[in-house]
Amino acid sequence: MPEKLLTAPELSEVVQRRRSRGERIVFTNGCFDLLHVGHIRFLQQARKLGDCLVVGLNSDASVRGIKSGRPVITESQRAEVLSALSCVDHVVIFNAPDPHDLIQVLQPDVLVKGGDWPLDRIVGRDIVEGRGGQVLSIPLIPDISTTILMERIQKLS
């Protein structure tokens, strides 16, 4: 198991320690299935918004509930790939359809999602803004997505 991969209770303790040192905690979440350049650039930009980037990773069961025929890559492999990125400080896998409860536990200072998420639909916005934090949407790279990649792969076969 990668060192950066933590359970929610472990991560809660780590985040509290880091916050007590004055660090700014940034949180994002997603499936991160078939990691691509759009994911990498998004995570790099998110990391620049604070001192610690936490990535909430949808479990396999959670992804199946959101996207038919997915994930392509297992949660353990997706977590390992995310953990290998220098811009990612911690990864936590969650089973719920959305990260609301995880955000409630972690209380991040910044909540970030991709540009396909309007601010008013970002789960956890109420929690983060309620404690004076920021909620941001980072623009996506046009024509880059896991869905588009999968469509291209299917056309090749």
The whole-number pLDDT of residue 157 equals 75
53 within some domain: yes
The whole-number pLDDT of residue 2 equals 57
Which stretches does DSSP call E strand in 90-139?
A: 90-94, 110-114, 134-138
CATH (domain of 130): 3.40.50.620
Side-chain-side CA neighbours of 101 within 13 Å: the count stands at 10
For the chain, the domain total comes to 1
2 within some domain: no
Distance of CA 104 to the CA centre of its chain: 15
- What is the Cα–Cα distance from 102 to 139, expressed in whole angstroms? 24
Q: Is the Cβ–Cβ distance between 2 and 80 less than 8 Å?
A: yes
- What is the Cα–Cα distance from 91 to 80, expressed in whole angstroms? 9
Residue whose pair of structure tokens reads 């588009």 in the numeric block: 148
152 within some domain: yes
148 within some domain: yes
Whole-model pTM? Answer: 0.92
3 within some domain: no
Residue numbers of the domain that contains 139: 8-156
1 within some domain: no
The whole-number pLDDT of residue 1 equals 43
114 within some domain: yes
Question: How far is residue 56 from each of residues 36, 146, 157, measured CA to CA in Å?
Answer: 17, 18, 33
User: Digits of tens for pLDDT over the chain (157 positions)?
Assistant: 458 999 999 999 999 999 999 999 999 999 999 899 999 999 999 999 999 999 999 999 999 999 888 899 999 999 999 999 999 999 999 999 999 999 999 999 999 999 888 999 999 999 999 999 999 999 988 777 777 777 777 788 7
